[in-house]
Structure 1
């Protein structure tokens, strides 16, 4: 077995990932795939060139609806409308500004995770050691297509790191793979160029030269941290877009043909030219049977009876695309729905925005905890709380005043009040209740001229 062998579940989901990538890139990517997404009408193949020219015109006239990428961007905006609350040990604070090897900030990396989950339903993160001991470990993200093989026991992963490599002013494809595995309870890394192993096996360690007993690698899905790939959450939107594309091709072909009327000459000779400025003269004559033939000339063309039906079908597919995207917002329990019914409904439907936001945060949290272990820090001090308020929940002044009054009267705790102020986007999402109280105390001291040392209390 070669290092580039694909897991059977990878082969099963890869066509869906490609479908999502192509539809997200838009019309150019979809049309470049030719008959993969737009079959050639059977009548075209009877042409001398196999229908190449006619199919080319048929494909060019068709319009692909650009709805997948805007849907993904819109949902990212909804999920990350307010930043997630992330707590880390002080030794890890440098990750806020530089979380990845290419300098991506932590919040931007979090958005990338969510984007990939929406698009393909899978993303992986490796907590990787820096090249020098003085630097922080960093987070390396891998798309669904990059994780090509794995074990259900999470003790073996193969990552495809192939890509372009610059040589002077030119670029060439380079096949590279990384193998992560646990061998006798110890984390090991192997690198391959092509299918040949490159260099020695590495055994990354935590601070203090302590061996790692788990692979610092996290696989994230749209529902949880399961290693098995699932259906992309927005596959329904992509398929509706492709259905519109095929319907639009037939619709525009009918429009084109209905405008291409053909001149028919009855009982006369065909003219050398037709069009504006050309005069066509027809002469009556006698046929072979001796009977007089009356000449005639007329334009005939298709009736276009299916045009309206195609227009209706396209509108239906647009509604299907909207419905497919709207299902992600359906996270509320239906009225009078039992717990078992709710469980079955969620097992049968795709991911929701809530589950995607939670999985994205859980995956990031677990990856950051691996970095904490590598730095000799307490991993439980790493906490990532996602934003789950997807609609505008800003508190108005009256509601905020009522909330503070309830706290002052002892009806709720300070922590409860502060959590509601955070959800209402009044208090900072980046500070805990304790940190906010410390900030208040500091401002009280700074504003007191005695405490600030500007005035002698005994004076």
Structure 2
């Protein structure tokens, strides 16, 4: 029987880091579910009292969700502008329904980018649904063929449990990918369901792509050989990795893992601060008296009341003193150190920049983060583009590489032009060094023109405007002297 659920060692080594980041992204409630992130002060004491005290310690500790907020900010930087997309007619349905569940192509890319930030890894599988023909029917009808479409399915890093690459004809090729899936089987009444494990094996066997699905009920698996529109088998596995560094099958380090590690240490320092504050902030009363204990109870039947208006009999030699611990700043200073470290890693939400800091200084300060984010955006774009090629192989057999464009935004900051820069651009156009189209492209990049405002839109609006007189030498046109309209 095939060991379809085998897990690679690299996967097992990377899994704790992935889980750490995703739990931090989920927020305080998720982090508090796991005791490993906040050690118990006395782990050998498993008494109910100590466990209850530890639970109170976790409730008082503040988890500042820097990882989650940073992730939102980085995603917002990529998707602040819509992706550049151009698809052939055969697969233009993917714009609105990329994975078959109603998710758009942009939403698929956003999910992929977020996964790449969390784990530095993920994958896209292009698949064509198996059409069950009615009994006696041997070929698809036109209506059935129209509804049968190839889709792009997203798989997170935890789902890709096994893979293998071999060198074939001098080229490293992906020959095995095993995907762990969860299938929900409803009960007879339809109101409940049972989650079951399923393993999808993608294999390149003798240069032909085959796929099999395994489960506990069907361990041997059901093998199929997907073919393109022309009936030819695929010579590669239509599964495309994307990563934080490259798009090969190796595991890249999670971009947010370092930040998550510091975030958890900050959480531990917070627990120390809150616990010490809870314990030491309450004053403790100490008394000395020569009264016999039994006699003291008679004289003070309700015990000692702090702050009450009644008096207390402590005998002729009795004294009372109130003690309260002094505030300690060590744990709080450690928290501040962690906040500065998180800011250095990329957690802009923790501390705002000073008012005197220029936009250029901000860009320089975060240039390393942007380079990583730019690499992620580029890698996800390339993986999506390759997936779109395979979707075309399923739908039409041929690939239109020039007509297939998908590129995520990599302009993470507004680079607004000042008046001097605008004047310089206009002078270049007037001198005939650049064309009017180049001028408008540069004005869009400089946030002078709206990014989605095309040349056709501008020309149409200009036709509706009143005539604008040019120079004295050429009053009949709004062009500079000697420059012809393009």
TM over 0.5, yes or no?
Answer: yes
Q: Of 254, 257, 273, which residue of structure 1 is paired with 2:303?
A: 273
Cα shift readout 1:416-456 (whole Å, capped 9, x = no counterpart): 4464355345375698xxxx67x89999999xxxxxxxxxx
Q: Matches of 2:437 and 2:370 in 1, distance apart?
A: 35
Q: Are the equivalent residues in 2 in contact too, given 1:407–1:413 (CA < 8 A)?
A: yes
Cα shift readout 1:140-167 (whole Å, capped 9, x = no counterpart): 0001101011013311000011254432
Q: Are the equivalent residues in 1 in contact too, given 2:288–2:314 (CA < 8 A)?
A: no
Q: Matches of 1:264 and 1:47 in 2, distance apart?
A: 31
Q: Of 173, 178, 183, which residue of structure 1 is paired with 2:200?
A: 178
The reply on whether 1:313 has 2:314 as its aligned counterpart is: no
RMSD of aligned C-alpha atoms?
Answer: 3.4
* SS of the residue 2:22 aligns to: helix
Cα distance, 1:121–1:47 mapped onto 2, change above 3 Å: closer
* Residue equivalent to 2:263: 241
Per the TM alignment, residue 351 of structure 1 is displaced from its structure 2 partner at its CA by 6.4
* SS of the residue 1:209 aligns to: coil
* Residue equivalent to 1:288: none
Cα shift readout 1:196-228 (whole Å, capped 9, x = no counterpart): 337631111111212111111011101220211
Q: Matches of 2:371 and 2:200 in 1, distance apart?
A: 30
Q: Identify unmatched segments of 5+ residues in structure 2.
A: 132-144, 167-173, 349-359, 465-486
Per the TM alignment, residue 264 of structure 1 is displaced from its structure 2 partner at its CA by 2.1
Cα distance, 1:155–1:199 mapped onto 2, change above 3 Å: closer
Q: Matches of 1:65 and 1:201 in 2, distance apart?
A: 48
The reply on whether 1:355 has 2:375 as its aligned counterpart is: yes
Q: Identify unmatched segments of 5+ residues in structure 1.
A: 285-293, 335-344, 447-459
* Residue equivalent to 2:473: none
Cα distance, 1:260–1:2 mapped onto 2, change above 3 Å: farther
Q: Are the equivalent residues in 1 in contact too, given 2:214–2:222 (CA < 8 A)?
A: no
Cα shift readout 1:366-387 (whole Å, capped 9, x = no counterpart): 1112212222232423232332
Q: Matches of 2:22 and 2:461 in 1, distance apart?
A: 51
* Residue equivalent to 1:322: 343
Q: Residues 119-198 of structure 1: matches in 2 within 5 Å?
A: 119-132=118-131, 133-134=145-146, 135-153=148-166, 154-167=174-187, 168-194=190-216, 196-197=218-219
Q: Matches of 1:330 and 1:130 in 2, distance apart?
A: 51
The reply on whether 1:252 has 2:274 as its aligned counterpart is: yes
Q: Are the equivalent residues in 2 in contact too, given 1:373–1:379 (CA < 8 A)?
A: no
Q: Residues 91-102 of structure 1: matches in 2 within 5 Å?
A: 91-102=90-101
Q: Matches of 2:74 and 2:14 in 1, distance apart?
A: 23
Q: Are the equivalent residues in 2 in contact too, given 1:146–1:161 (CA < 8 A)?
A: yes
* Residue equivalent to 1:374: 394
Q: Are the equivalent residues in 2 in contact too, given 1:99–1:106 (CA < 8 A)?
A: yes
* Residue equivalent to 1:28: 29
* Residue equivalent to 1:211: 233
Q: Are the equivalent residues in 1 in contact too, given 2:445–2:451 (CA < 8 A)?
A: no
* Residue equivalent to 1:300: 323
Q: Are the equivalent residues in 1 in contact too, given 2:283–2:322 (CA < 8 A)?
A: yes
The reply on whether 1:40 has 2:40 as its aligned counterpart is: yes
Q: Give the TM-score normalised by the residue count of structure 2.
A: 0.76
Point out the more displaced range, 256-265 or 269-278: 269-278
Structure 1 outlier segments of 4+, above 4 Å = 44-48, 329-334, 394-405, 413-419, 427-431, 439-446
Q: Matches of 1:57 and 1:333 in 2, distance apart?
A: 43
Q: Matches of 1:239 and 1:202 in 2, distance apart?
A: 44
